Structure 1
């Protein structure tokens, strides 16, 4: 059984009520058991929040959500570094020719690559960009980490498959 399917099996085995799922989602956001129990509609959030955190099904769901969040943040990081490494500076360059750009004009521009904008006293404009070379280096290191971690997941999956065959 591949490692990714272990999370799906956990979800199937740990059927939660709608309120318990809401508690888990709220807890992942706030980290506060009492507040999460109140948001999920439990009658006595002071005691229910702590009790829910001690529930095995709730802990398994929180671990699953934490794993998903970690994978999402990793993917978003890669996307951000890709934009920094390969994005266009055309909007930032066109900004140099704008005398007094409106908020609407600025809102339509892709200035993701810009790290700093300054207007010295002489009226000129200075635009500094994030370092593309550093973004490329980070992408390369993330790629290498992903390749090495993939082999770890493969190893875990093969051990799990072998242990199932021992039954």
Structure 2
């Protein structure tokens, strides 16, 4: 945290730009180092305070992305498919209707020549597996995953009978 106070506004902007793009020269130019941005970038990349800030921002970004991925898997595992089912019954949905629908769970939509719509969903069990693998405590998710797996096996056994 002490390093942040030592950075100038342009250095902070360079750090943010570099973490987003990975391109030092572009980040330097974007931060206001117009003249010879490549040389400015090289100098900035050897500054210990700048490197510490880049490291801090990178760690924060990784945490955010891990949280976003976890939220996405939660939506896939536990999300509602009612909008996707509604889509099946709409003749010609308008752009406005489609924008209001939550179609996150859909992996693929096809409309073959026969005019029917085919909708494929992301695999809920795979999403649960990912949640289990990324969860630090894992036990609650594992219990739920096991219960869903047992339920799916029971349904399969009934269908085969």
Please report the TM-score for the alignment, with normalisation by the length of structure 2. 0.80
2:18 counterpart of 1:34: no
5+ residue gaps in structure 1?
A: 1-10, 149-167
5+ residue gaps in structure 2?
A: 139-161
Equivalent of 1:102 in 94, 119, 127? 94
Aligned length: 136
Q: Is the contact made by 2:11 and 2:31 (CA closer than 8 Å) also made in structure 1?
A: yes
RMSD (Å) for aligned C-alpha atoms: 1.4
Indicate the residue corresponding to 1:61 in structure 2: 53
Superposed CA offset, 1:29-60 (max 9, x none)? 22121221111112532311100000000000
Superposed CA offset, 1:125-153 (max 9, x none)? 1111011011111111111xx349xxxxx
Please give the alpha-carbon distance, in whole angstroms, between the structure 2 residues aligned to 1:94 and 1:12. 54
2:126 counterpart of 1:129: no
Q: Is the contact made by 2:3 and 2:53 (CA closer than 8 Å) also made in structure 1?
A: no
**Please, which moves more after superposition, 107-116 or 117-126?**
117-126
**Cα displacement (A) at 1:14:** 4.0
Query: What secondary structure, in the 3-state scheme, does the structure 1 residue paired with 2:119 have?
Result: strand
Please report the TM-score for the alignment, with normalisation by the length of structure 1. 0.77
Which protein has greater RCO, CA pairs closer than 8 Å, 6+ apart? Answer: 1
Please give the alpha-carbon distance, in whole angstroms, between the structure 2 residues aligned to 1:104 and 1:136. 32
